[in-house]
Each structure stands twice: as C-alpha cells, then as structure tokens.
A and B are shown apart, each in its own frame.
Chain A
Amino acid sequence: MSEKKKWYSLDLGLNRKKSDTTCGCGKTEGGCGSHKPEMTDDAFLEAAVNASIGEEVRKDGFEQVFDVKMDRRSAFKKLTASLLIGAGAVSTSCSVISGDDSKEKAQIDWEEQFKGNYKLMNDDEKKATVDRLMRSYELRTGKNISMTAENAADDVLFGYAFNISKCQGYMDCVNACVEENNQDRDSQMQYIRIHEMKDGKGFNFNEADDNYYHEVPAEGHFYMGTQCFHCDNPPCVEVCPVSATWREDDGLVVIDYDWCVGCRYCMAACPYDGRRFNWSKPEVPEAEINKNQHYLGNRMRKKGVMEKCTFCVQRSRKGQNPACVEACPTGARIFGNLLDPKSTIRWVLENKKVFRLKEDLGTEPKFWYFMD
C-alpha cells in the first residue's frame, strides 16, 4: 500500500489491514471485549449479539419474528447477559484487551488524519479508508454502518429537471433530503431551498420567501426549488486551494470532507447558494442515522467542513433516484442519465421549454426548470 502514493503519509505499523467490518469476536484479534470501554452494558450486549450472529442482524421486523434464527438471537442475548456480569470484572482488570482496542483506534485516527486526498486515491486506497471509517464507527458506537466507495459508471452523466407547474411547496423533498443525508439537526441544515413566489411577478427571487411556515399551496403563489446544480463548469471547484471538491466523471460535484480545510472560498464562489458549512459539530440522533453511506455522500461530517447536495451519490450510483425525487408527492422532480436517449430527463429536455438560472455566468448547471 505504500508504493505509488501521491502524498506523504505516515504508517505507524501497528496494524495492517483491518478490513473485517464485523467485530473480531473470538477470532484472531481477541478483541470482542474490545467494545467495552465506550459502551453501556445494553449497547455492549447488542453488539456482542450482533457480532456473534453476523449477517442475521440485518434482518429486521417481520423476518426476524418468523425466522427460527430469532430463537438463536434471544438465546444469545440471555447467554451473553449472564456472561456480562463476569466479563465486566475481567475486562476492567485485563488491560491488554482494552489496550489493544485503543491502540487500534489510535492507529485508525492516525491514518485518517494523515491520509491523502480521495480524488487521487486508487481503488485499494479508497477501500482502505472506507474500511477504516466503518471500523472506527463500530469501535466508537458499537454499531455497524455500510459505506461504499463506488466510482462513477461509464456513459453516465446525471441531470435534473424541475417542473415549476407541479411543485406545491410541500417540502417533503427537504425533509427526505435531511433524513437521507444525515444533515445536522441542531442548525437545521437543508440543502434544498423552496422559494415561494408571487403569481404575476415572474421569477422574482428578491421578493420570494424561502423560509415560510404556513399551509401550502398558498393562494396566489408558486414554488421553485434550488439546491446545488452540479454545474458542468463549477466555479466552486476552481477556487478550492486544496482540491477538496471536484467534478466526478458522472457529473456529480463532490467534496472530500476529510480533505476540506474549511476556508469557505467555494461558498463565496457558488452563484447558486448551493453549499453549506458545518459551523459546529453536526448532530444526528443515533436512531435517525442513515447507515447506508457513501464516502462522498451522506457519511457523517465533522465540524468545520463544507458539504452540499450530491444528487444522493449513495443512491444514484446504485441506479436509484435521489431521495428528493422519490419523496416528491407531485412528481415535480425528474432525475436521470443525460447520456441515455431513452431517459425521462432526456424526454423533458427535448420536449419542454427548459431554462436554467443565471446562464450568463457560464457555469452550465445540470439542473433545468420547465413548465407544463
């Protein structure tokens, strides 16, 4: 892993690859008790059960109830509970185990602190950092997340269209986006802004209200949504001093949250109010965290870094629609591959009178508006 690196990084050599995402319980690491120090007993129990039953945990609800393995699950629960009482005493006295654990954590933190820019990583390095992040999350919370580093597919260029006649201002897209993308709940960060405009005034953003709290659709108004437009010639990318933000081959403009230094130059450069900054540590209640994550997408951010709409890269690269498109009850939002002649978005671009905002700036947004 050390050769062909495009940046400088330090390897403490404490561990090589720790790619297994489940806990190493009873395995070579000898680190099952390892979750211990950070967790409450309940969490520990949960984690121990998870670890022992493996993939089974992902089944939930009905499946579990009717599955025989359910018995194994509860059996394990009881078993571990009784073991716990003893284990508690052992693990406190036996510092080797927790030492192992904090060593691993320190190693991960170290490697994460000094890793390179994601944009320049090869696939192995991408996988290594994703594995580290998953392991780190597990060490910290005892819960598993799934994070991917899918690259852009060939012959794909994502685009978005917004039907102004259909939007009623319900804001379902905004809420779906917040939930999907793990945005900070404290500051109520939102990627999408819905502008409520007065009929007969045209697209007058100055008099529009993007912060309304009343029943919609309001009489005599129409609605228009904005977010990051994933410009094809993005000024935000040009200005970043450390190349922490870039345009991917499928047209998504993304940010490496771990590489961003938080200078906010890109924010000043964006003509569309597309970017958001983490002014303090983002907080998402554990129960509400979306655990299906992508490195460039909805993984947990830290304080002092930039973020923005990624067209839900964790979904779109799997062939799904972004959360906002799926949540919209009116069908005002259309997403798809611009290079696919049979896609709906292509149909819209070819058959509707579409326009984009601030075209004079030459940013070439991949976000079109149209009316029925």
Chain B
Amino acid sequence: MRRLKVFKNLVIDSLDAITKGSRKYHIWMAFLTFVMLAGMYCYSIQLKEGLSVTGMSDRVSWGLYISNFTFLVGVAAAAVMLVMPTYVLKDIDFKRSVLMGEGLAVAALIMCLAFVVADMGGPSVLWHMIPGIGVFNFPNSMLTWDVIVLNGYLFLNLSIPFYILFRRYQGKVPNPKIYVPGAILSVLWAVAIHLVTAFLYQGLQARPFWNNALLGPRFLASAFAAGPALIILVLAVIRSFTAFKIEDKTLNKISMIVVVAAQINIIMLISELFKEFYAPTHHSESAYYLFFGLDGKTALLPWIWTAISMNVVATVILTIGKLRRNLKVLYFCCALLFVAIWIEKGFGLIVPGFIPGPYGKIVEYLPTGIEVGVTIGIWAMGAFIFTILAKTAIGIELGTLRYKSRKD
C-alpha cells in the first residue's frame, strides 16, 4: 500500500519535473513534438495507401526502416558497456552515467519496436505474433527470437533503473543484492540481442552478402563503438545544460571503449574486404555493388565511401591518446563515428543484401519522402522519451526529486 502511494507520488513528481524547465528545454520538447506529429502524419498516409508509398519493392523488400532497426539494436546493446563496469566491477566512475546509458537503451529499444511496426504490412494483425493468442513460430524463426530478446532487454533496462531510482527517491540506498544479478543478466542479454539480430540476416542462405560468419561479431564491434560514442555525446549535452556533474575521467574511460571497439571493427572490415575482393566469386557481387557499383548503378557509392572515410579518420584520431583526451576532438570524432556506423550498419548492410536479386537483377532503392518522414519522426520520439527519462533520473539523482520533500 505504501509502495503504491510512493509510486503515485513519483509519477506526479516526475510529471511535474518534465513539464517544468528552462526556455531551451521547452523549445526542444516542442520541436520534438512537432517532428513526431509530422512523422505520424506520414505514417497515416502509409497506413492508408500501403507500403507502396515507400521506396521498397519486390526486388528490394527491406529499406530504411529495417536499416534503422538494425542500427538501433546496436545502440541499445551498448548500454551494457557502462552497466558492466558500474554494477559488476564496481567502478564508481561510471556510476553517474550508467543511468543515462540505460535510459538510452530504453529509448533505442522503443525506437526499434516502432521501426519494426512501421515496416509491417499489416500492423492491425500484429497480435498474431503474441505467444498464447497467436502463433509464435519458435524456435524456427529468428524473428521470434528477436522479439523475445528485445522485449526481455527492454524489461531489464526498465526495471533495474526503476528499482534504483525508486529507492533513491525515498532517500534509501538500493540493495546491490537485488540489482546486481539483474545487471549481470542484462550484460549477457545485451550480447544476445545483437547476436540474434545479426542471425536474422546471417541465417539466410538466399543472400550471400549476409550469409557470412563475421556478420555477428562485426555487429557487436560496431555497436560497441557507436553506442558509447552516442553516450559520450549525450553526456556532453547533459553536462552543459544541467547541474548533473559528469567528470572528465568518466568521458575518458568511455572513450577507451569506443576506441577499442572501433579498432576491432576496422580489422573486421579489412578481413571482409579481403575475402570479397582478393578472390571474388559470384557471391561477391553485392559487395561489388556496394563499394564500386554494378552495371552503372552506383546509388550507394557516395554513402559507403563517406562512411568508411569517416570511420577510418575517427578511429585514427581516437587512437592517439593525446587527441582523444581533448574533449572537443573527442566529441567531433564520436559524432563522425556515430554517423559512419549508422550508414554502414544501416542501409550499407541491408540494401546490398537484395542487390543483385536472386537472378542477378539490379534494381536500386531510394527512400521516399514519406519513409524519411516516418523515420525522422521515430528518431524524434526516441529523443523525446530519452529526454523525459533523463530529466526524471537527473532530478532524483540530484536530490531535487524526493518523496515528501515537497509535501506536508
């Protein structure tokens, strides 16, 4: 009973916290709301007309939505890079940022689910996928595995921070016996969500571009570069706009993770390029299309080369310790890396899987305005959710949000 009352107060207090803020905060939230509404409008058109309003076709049947989904799974998985040192290895430097990482994971996961729903032809019959009342083709379909791991991870990342914040809100100390097992589980789980998502593609013998053993590990490496890079950027913003203090030391430690992951990612990229181009076979055609174009069709060329150059430049700069410790350079490189991996793990991965088609047909893919609108809308939704979560969490951590601190 008491718990319920505390919870009610928490909801009221956090509502209070997220509706009050500086002028900049209000402009930011209004802007996000506007973008979300625009995205919803685009989605309503898609619902009415069908997926024909997107650039996808029978030849390239997955596009921008699934690309973003794949990338965001990686971002979500990266939260673990902060969870592990904090809860498991008890490294206190990460303590303040770990909640942000988990908030980011929650926002990314919700975006993932939104992208999957946006990609569905029949969102009204999605209940067919709910185990028990629908038919769940488990364990045959990797997609069902993905549904399980994504929702499980979402649950973990909601419940752990909630428990910690709920205790803090009441001015109590969270009991590590309760949250550490959860944290360890979520570490394993994070690897699983990314590996399973890679298996989604890796398991298709029909698409040689995806059907290679390196896909899973490469997913992990790039995710552990892009995710923490985003966390660094987010922390930088929070640091400058709120009273929440994050030490340089924390940023430096996170940047170490980014560097190592980015380096491994590049090594794997080289290995992949070697395999595709040293002794090219019929199966290398997709890679040819991606990197050099096929039959004069070169839509992806500018993208992939931009991505690779950004990737290499950022990795090289970050490898040099002196440059890395300069925060301005660090932020710049993180932004570069984030965009580069978004391109690479996004449509640089999904689209070439379909080109050339099973019988060598080359039909290119270009997202339409509506598709882009929905995509940006979902990103805005993610930012919106994260802002709300972060604002509440910061309030509680700073002690401004406390049970009964306001009442009586």
Smallest CB–CB gap between A70 and chain B, Å?
44
| A155-182 interface code vs B (CB 8 A; 1 in, 0 out) | 0000000000000000000000000000
Cβ A242 vs Cβ B136 within 8 A: yes
Known: A271-B205, A281-B50. A241 touches B136 (CB 8 A): yes
Q: Which listed residue (B52, B119, B133, B361) contacts A210, Cβ 8 A?
A: B361
Cβ B121 vs Cβ A240 within 8 A: no
Cβ B134 vs Cβ A279 within 8 A: no
Q: Which listed residue (A116, A242, A262, A270) contacts B137, Cβ 8 A?
A: A242
Known: A226-B359, A242-B134, A361-B205. A260 touches B140 (CB 8 A): no
Is A96 in contact with chain B by the CB < 8 A criterion?
no
Known: A263-B119, A280-B52. A235 touches B204 (CB 8 A): yes
Smallest CB gap from A119: residue in B = B135
Q: Which listed residue (A243, A261, A272, A361) contacts B121, Cβ 8 A?
A: A261
Which has the most chain A C-beta neighbours within 10 Å: B135, B144, B200? B135
Is A102 in contact with chain B by the CB < 8 A criterion?
no
Q: Please, how many angstroms separate the alpha-carbon atoms of A263 and B354 in the complex?
A: 15
Q: Given the complex, which residues of A lie within 8 Å of B116, measured CB to CB?
A: 263
Is B174 in contact with chain A by the CB < 8 A criterion?
no
Q: Given the complex, which residues of B lie within 8 Å of A271, measured CB to CB?
A: 205-206, 358
Cβ B50 vs Cβ A279 within 8 A: yes
Q: Given the complex, which residues of A lie within 8 Å of B128, measured CB to CB?
A: 117, 242, 244, 259, 261
Q: Which listed residue (A8, A116, A120, A235) contacts B206, Cβ 8 A?
A: A235
Sorting the interface of chain B by its residue count into under 10, 10 to 19, 20 to 34 or 35 or more gives: 35 or more
Q: Please, how many angstroms separate the alpha-carbon atoms of A257 and B205 in the complex?
A: 25
| B36-75 interface code vs A (CB 8 A; 1 in, 0 out) | 0000000000000111100011100110000000000000
- Total inter-chain residue pairs, C-beta < 8 Å: 143
Smallest CB–CB gap between A203 and chain B, Å?
10
Q: Which listed residue (B144, B205, B360) contacts A241, Cβ 8 A?
A: B144
Is B132 in contact with chain A by the CB < 8 A criterion?
yes
Q: Given the complex, which residues of B lie within 8 Å of A281, measured CB to CB?
A: 50
Smallest CB–CB gap between A65 and chain B, Å?
44
Smallest CB gap from B137: residue in A = A243
Is A93 in contact with chain B by the CB < 8 A criterion?
no
Smallest CB gap from B146: residue in A = A241
Cβ A262 vs Cβ B359 within 8 A: no
Is B125 in contact with chain A by the CB < 8 A criterion?
yes
Q: Please, how many angstroms separate the alpha-carbon atoms of A8 and B201 in the complex?
A: 32
Q: Which listed residue (A243, A302, A303) contacts B135, Cβ 8 A?
A: A243
Cβ A304 vs Cβ B51 within 8 A: yes
Is A90 in contact with chain B by the CB < 8 A criterion?
no
Known: A239-B143, A240-B137, A261-B129. A268 touches B207 (CB 8 A): yes
Is B122 in contact with chain A by the CB < 8 A criterion?
yes
Sorting the interface of chain A by its residue count into under 10, 10 to 19, 20 to 34 or 35 or more gives: 35 or more
Q: Given the complex, which residues of A lie within 8 Å of B358, measured CB to CB?
A: 270-273
Known: A244-B128, A261-B129. A270 touches B121 (CB 8 A): no
Smallest CB–CB gap between B42 and chain A, Å?
16
Smallest CB gap from B134: residue in A = A242
Smallest CB–CB gap between A212 and chain B, Å?
13
Q: Please, how many angstroms separate the alpha-carbon atoms of A263 and B142 in the complex?
A: 13
Which has the most chain A C-beta neighbours within 10 Å: B120, B125, B144? B125
Q: Please, how many angstroms separate the alpha-carbon atoms of A304 and B206 in the complex?
A: 23
Cβ B147 vs Cβ A241 within 8 A: yes
Cβ A269 vs Cβ B147 within 8 A: no
| Interface members, chain A 221-267 (any B CB < 8 Å) | 226, 235, 238-244, 258-265, 267
Q: Please, how many angstroms separate the alpha-carbon atoms of A240 and B141 in the complex?
A: 6
| A349-372 interface code vs B (CB 8 A; 1 in, 0 out) | 000000000000111000000000
- Can you pick out 8 interface pairs between chain A and chain B where the beta carbons lie within 8 Å of each other? A205-B360, A239-B141, A243-B135, A260-B121, A261-B121, A263-B116, A265-B143, A269-B204
A residues near B, CB below 8 A?
7-8, 113, 116-117, 119-120, 187, 189, 193, 195, 205-208, 210, 226, 235, 238-244, 258-265, 267-273, 275-281, 302-306, 361-363
Q: Knowing that A113-B125, A280-B49, A303-B121 touch, tell me 8 more A-B residue pairs with CB under 8 angstroms.
A: A226-B359, A235-B205, A238-B140, A239-B204, A241-B141, A260-B121, A263-B120, A304-B50
- Listed from nearest, the 8 A-B pairs whose CB atoms lie closest are A262-B121, A304-B121, A271-B206, A206-B360, A279-B52, A280-B50, A280-B52, A241-B143
